[in-house]
A and B are shown apart, each in its own frame.
Chain A
Amino acid sequence: MTDFLNALALLGNFVIVPGLAYGSQLALGALGVTMVYAVLRFSNFAHGETMSFGAMVTILVTWWLQERGVNFGPLPTALLALPIGIAGTVLMCLLSDRFVYRYYRRERAAPVTYLIVSVGILFVLSGLVRFVIGPQDRIFADGERFIMKARAFKQMTGLEQGLAIKTTQGVTVVTAVIVVAVIFWFLNRTRTGKSMRAYSDNEDLALLSGVSPDKVVLVSWAIAGTLATIAGTLYGLDKSFKPFTYFQLLLPIFAAAIVGGIGHPVGAVVGGYVVAFSEVTVTYAYKKFLIYIVPESWEPEGLVQLLSTEYKFAVSFVILVVVLLIRPTGIFKGKVL
């Protein structure tokens, strides 16, 4: 029995807790991608860089707050800086729409044109972020480091294996739950939210009903910018902020949105956790876990790791290819790309 509990603690520590945190970050990212896809009707390849931009603004404000001796007690100061990060990022999104996307919308450009345009925005943003804050790795998490320390868990339960929960992981999951709940409430209960769903469902009929396209576009960018900033900041808090990693996040985020069914908000959230847990479970070394649950004679010799962590992006890529081949609409029947 103790062996089994030890095995569970081990799995919790290395798979479930990190998977939940990473899944929440991907879910928020994918939700942003899916919203832009549903309402503005294109795949926004600049979303990863938008996350990076949002995290950067938040970090700059965090530093400014820290210099003035402001802190948020046990929680990271970055949470206090988040609203300003969001405001800055939404402004950036609106400016990019005003000076770039709007032109193509009026031209009624093909979705693939939009996609290429978003790649252009991607490069501009990635250059801007590196120019302002630099390409290095930065750790900006402060406050209490752990909600639960491994040693405390061991003392509490008397188990050999510890289960540690970082503050950033707790903050990530709680924030994601709140944000997702607010977004769903907004989309399903408010007049503006419903008009956005209507616009996404049937643009012509929405226009006939008196929905203003300019307002829908504005609100979509506001939501996309907000989600990107929150996702980017949470990811940076949990791991570290390095501009290049946000470019790499694009693949798992798109995989998550497409697995769930692109254009479908519930799908994006579910897809985020599917991709995160696939990545974590495939790259985890099960040796210690198996030692606890199998008889001694079966003890594995290798690490029992399906894939080295360097290849974790291959997991998203494989998921993406398999879904597009077998069920292109995704789990929740989103739109076909």
Chain B
Amino acid sequence: MPDMSFLQGESLYGGYGGADILQGCSIGVDKGEIAVVVGPNGAGKSTAMKAIFGMLSVREGSVTLNGQDISKLPPQERVALGMGFVPQNGNVFTSMTVKENLEMGAFIRRDDFRSTMEQVFSLFPVLAEKHAQPAGELSGGQRQQVAVGRALMTRPSVLMLDEPTAGVSPIVMDETVDRIIEIAKTGIAILMVEQNARQALEIADRGFVLVQGRNRYTDTGAALLADPEVRRSFLGG
């Protein structure tokens, strides 16, 4: 009986058409938790995220959300079911204003989403200030906030982030991490891939170390940080 979390990718095999990049990895997260996927380059971290979100077809294995099998659903339908995804690149509409980006995030919602937008603005006050500016004119960190805000507009129960701190300054990185913790506290499940493994594992309720598309270590973030073998192999001592 596999462990069934709120969102669970179980024994995933698949890739981009050629050889399988994912070799049976399993990743899961529960509501209010932060799960972090780390591992060396080419371990299949981003591929696993895409597989869970339905952006590439899984050859074998299953993805379940709240017990429902969603393996065959396209990404748009997973969004409707409460999954939000922030890709690493191209995650904002650069020619559209911050406010329009958030509106596009709420595109599938037919109800009044102004209160959700207020919540996003109170989480990221700088966005409220720059709401009329094209997202392409913002700094890297602010764009990342727009991207996260956009994904939050559907009021998702799971938020997936692909390297949210890539390419931003250390100060902005700390702030982004704080915001992610804040979002998790509202009861949203957070699943993220991180290059900066040490910092990410510090806040992780669950950590997954992937190597060559397989789970090498799975434990709480703290336990992984304390494991001398993990430290030596993946965290630089």
- List residues of A whose CB falls within 8 A of some B CB: 191, 194-195, 197-198, 201-202, 204-211
* Chain B residue contacts of A194, Cβ below 8 A: 96, 100, 103-104
Sorted nearest first, the 7 A-B pairs with minimum C-beta distance are A210-B108, A201-B93, A209-B107, A198-B104, A201-B95, A210-B107, A209-B104
Q: Do A208 and B79 contact each other (CB < 8 Å), given the known contacts A194-B103, A194-B104, A198-B104?
A: yes
**A206 proximity list for chain B (CB < 8 A):** 93, 104
Q: Are B91 and A205 in contact (CB under 8 A)?
A: yes
Residues 136-159 of B, flagged 1 when their CB comes within 8 A of A and 0 if not, give 000000000000001000000000
Instruction: Select B95's contact among A197, A204, A207, A208, beta carbons within 8 Å.
Output: A197
Q: Which B residues touch A210, using CB under 8 A?
A: 76, 79-80, 107-108
Besides the known contacts A208-B85, A209-B104, 17 further A-B residue pairs in the complex with CB atoms under 8 A apart: A194-B96, A194-B104, A195-B104, A198-B93, A201-B94, A202-B90, A202-B92, A202-B94, A204-B90, A205-B92, A207-B76, A208-B79, A208-B87, A210-B76, A210-B79, A210-B108, A211-B104
Distance between A211 CB and nearest chain B CB, rounded to angstroms: 6
Q: Is the CB of B93 within 8 A of A207?
A: no
| Contact count band on B | 20 to 34
Query: What's the Cα separation between A202 and B75 when bound, in Å?
Result: 16
Say yes or no: A209-B79 contact (C-beta < 8 A), given A194-B100, A194-B103, A195-B107. Answer: yes
B105 interface hit (Cβ, 8 Å): yes
Q: Give the residues in chain B near A208, CB-CB below 8 Å.
A: 75-76, 79, 85, 87
Smallest CB separation, A200 vs chain B (Å) = 8
**Closest residue of B by beta carbon distance from A208:** B75
Binding site for A on B (CB under 8 A): 75-76, 79-80, 85, 87, 90-96, 100, 103-105, 107-108, 150
The residues of A that contact B94 with a CB separation of less than 8 Å are 201-202
Q: How far apart are A152's CB and chain B's nearest CB, in angstroms?
A: 48
Looking at chain A's contact residues, the main secondary structure is helix
B83 to chain A, nearest CB (A): 10
The reply to whether B108 and A198 contact each other, CB–CB distance below 8 Å, is no
- What are 16 sample pairs from A and B whose C-beta atoms fall under 8 A apart? A194-B96, A197-B100, A198-B100, A201-B93, A202-B94, A205-B91, A206-B104, A208-B75, A208-B76, A208-B79, A208-B87, A209-B104, A209-B105, A209-B150, A210-B80, A210-B108
Closest to B74 in A: A207
- Across the interface, name the chain A residue whose C-beta is closest to B80: A210
Evaluate contact between B107 and A211: CB separation under 8 angstroms: yes
CB distance from A149 to the nearest CB of B (A): 47
Pick from A191, A197, A204: contact of B96, CB below 8 A. A197
B87 touches A205 (CB 8 A): yes
Docked Cα-Cα span, A195 to B85, in Å, equals 18
- Whether B93 lies near A197 (C-beta < 8 A) is yes
CA distance A209 to B86 in the complex (A): 11
Q: Which of A191, A197, A207, A209 has the most CB of B within 10 A?
A: A209
Q: Cβ of B87: which chain A residues have Cβ within 8 Å of it?
A: 204-205, 208
Bound: A205/B53 CA distance, A? 13
CB atoms of B96 and A201 under 8 A apart: yes
* A201 to B97 alpha-carbon distance, docked (Å): 12
In the complex, A206→B87 CA distance in Å? 12
Which residue of chain A has its CB nearest to the CB of B134?
A201
Q: Cβ of B85: which chain A residues have Cβ within 8 Å of it?
A: 208
Q: Please give me the residue from chain B that is nearest to A212 by CB atom.
A: B76
